[in-house]
Amino acid sequence: MSSFAATHASYEEAAFRPVVQRPGLVWWGLFTVLSAAIVVGAVAYAYQLREGLNVTGLNQRVSWGFYISNLVFFIGISYGGAITSAILRLTNAPWRAPLTRMAEGMAVASLVVGAVFPIIDLGRPDHMYQLFVHGQVGSPVLWDVVAISTYLVASLVFIYLPLIPDIALCRDRLASSAGPVRRLLYRGLSLGWKGTGEQRRVLNMGMTVLAILIIPLAVSVHSVLAWLFGVTVRPGWDSTIFAPYFVMGAMYSGVGSVILVMAAFRWAYHLDAYITPKHFRYLGYMLLVLGMGYLYFMVAEYLTEGYKLHQQTGDLLELVMLGKLASLFWLFVIGGLLLPIAVVAIPATRTVPFITLAALAAVLGMWLKRFLIVVPSLAESLSPTTKLTIYHPTWVEISITIAAAAAIPWLLMVFFRLFPIISVFEMDEVAEAEERKAEELGAAPVQAMGVAQ
C-alpha cells in the first residue's frame, strides 16, 4: 500500500466515524437535551403567535430586543464560518482540509437559525408578504432580506460542492449497510460522481468561484444588516463605521464559533490526529487579530462619539459604560474581548483547552455586545420629557433564544450523522499535493495535509 493510500484510508475512516458508528449514550443524551430545548422554544413561539408580541418584553420604544440581537449575532457567526473556509481555500492553506466541512456546516446552521429571527420579531409571520408587495427599494430592510436569502443559497452551494465526492463515497461505501432512504439520498445528491478529470475540474472551478463569491457576499450581508442601524439618527447607531464594525465583530465571533465546533467534534469523535493543536493555534491567531481589530473599532466609535458628546449620545454612553448596563458592558470588554486576546497572546496559555475557553468567552461576549448595540439605543429617550424605557425579556424570548442556540449543535449533529465530518475530497487533494511536493524534493512524503504539529 502506498503512503498516500495508507493516509487516505486513515482519514477516510476518521471522516466516516460519525456516519457509521452507532451513537453512544453521550450523543443521545445531548441530542435529547437539545431537542427538548428546541421543543420548548417552539412552544414559546406558538404561544407568541397565539397571543401576540405582548407576551414578550418588547414595547413601543424597545421594539428590537433579544430577537434582533439574535439575528445580528447568528448571522455574524455564520459569516465567520464561511469566510474562514473561503479564505483558507483561496490561499490554499494545506491545514484547512480537516476543518472546512465543520466551518461550512456551522455557517449554514447558524445562518438558517439567524434568518428566522426577523420573522419571529415581526409577530405575525404573514406580514413578510407585505415586504414583497409594499417593499421600498430605498429601505435596508428590503435589501437585508435579499442579501440574507442570496447568502443562504450561496452558502448551501458552497457546502454542497465539496460534499459531492464525499456523498459519492457514502453511496459506494455504505451501499449495503445504509437504509433505503439514505441510499436514495446519497444516490441523488452525489449526482453520478465518478471522479473523472472533467468532473474534478468543473468541481474545483465551482468551488473556487464560490469561495471568491462568498467573501463579498458575506461582507455585504453584514454591511446591509449594519446599515439597518446606521442609516437612522438614533444615538449609538448614527455612525459611518457601523458596517466594518459589524463585519469585524461577525468574523471575531465566527472564528470563535469555528473553534468551539472543532473542539466539540474533535473530542466527541477522537479526531486528535487530524485536528491538532496547530489548528487551534492558527485559528487562535485569527481570533487575536480580529479581537484587536474589533477593539480598535469600538474605541474609535466611542471616542469620536464621546468627544462630540451630543446630549443624547452622552446619556447613552453613560447608561452603557457607567449606568444600569455597565456591568454587561465591562463584562464584554474584559471577558469577551481582553481575555481571549490575552489567552492567545500569552504562549503558556496557547493550548487547546485555553483557546477553546477563549473562543467561548469571545462568542458569549459578542452576543452581549450585540445586545448592548441593539437595546440601549432604543431604550434611551429621544425626548427630554420622557424617561429611559426598561426592557425585560420574558420567558418566551429567553426560551426562543435558548432554542436557537441549541438548534445549531442539533443541526450539526444530524448533519454529521449523514455526511463525513472531514472533507475526504479536500484531504485527498492536499495529500496528493504534499506527495507530489515530496517526490519533487526526492524525499519520502512527510505527514500529509499539514497535520504535523
Partner 1 sequence: MKTTLRLLLLAATVIGLVALLPGSAMAQAAPKNTSITVAPIDQPKGKPAIIAATLKDAAGSPLGGVPLRFYVETDAFGPRLMKVGEGVTDVSGTAAVAFKSTWLGQNKVTVVFPGNATLAASQANGQFNAVGPVAVHKNAELAIKSIRDWAPMVAFGLVIVVWATLLFVLFRTFRVMLGGPRERSATEPRAVTVQNLPADER
Query: Contact positions toward partner 1, by CB under 8 A?
Result: 126-127, 129-130, 136-139, 143, 146, 150, 153-154, 157, 161, 164, 191-193, 196-203, 205-206, 209-210, 213, 217, 231
CA atoms within 13 A on the CB side of 179: 4
CB of 137 to partner 1, least distance (A): 4
Closest CB to partner 1 among residues 201, 310: 201
Residue 106 or 189 with smaller CB distance to partner 1: 189
Could you tell me the three cell numbers for 410?
442539533
C-beta of 142 vs 264, nearer to partner 1: 142
* Closest CB to partner 1 among residues 138, 347: 138
Distances (CA, A) of 32 to 22, 35, 395, 410: 16, 5, 21, 9
How many CB atoms lie under 10 A from the CB of residue 130? 11
* Cα–Cα distance list, 256 to 34, 336, 373 (Å): 21, 11, 20
Q: How far is the CB of 189 from partner 1 (least distance, A)?
A: 10
Number of helices (H), then strands (E), in the chain: 17, 0
Tell me how far, at minimum, the Cβ of 360 lies from partner 1, in Å. 34
Nearer of residues 73 and 151 to partner 1, judged by Cβ: 151
The DSSP symbol for 161 reads: T
Q: How far is the CB of 227 from partner 1 (least distance, A)?
A: 12
CB 367, min distance to partner 1, A = 29
Between CA 102 and CA 260, with CA 80 as vertex, the angle to 5 degrees is 50
Give the nearer residue to partner 1 in terms of CB position, either 61 or 200: 200
* Distance in Å, CB of 268 to partner 1, minimum: 32
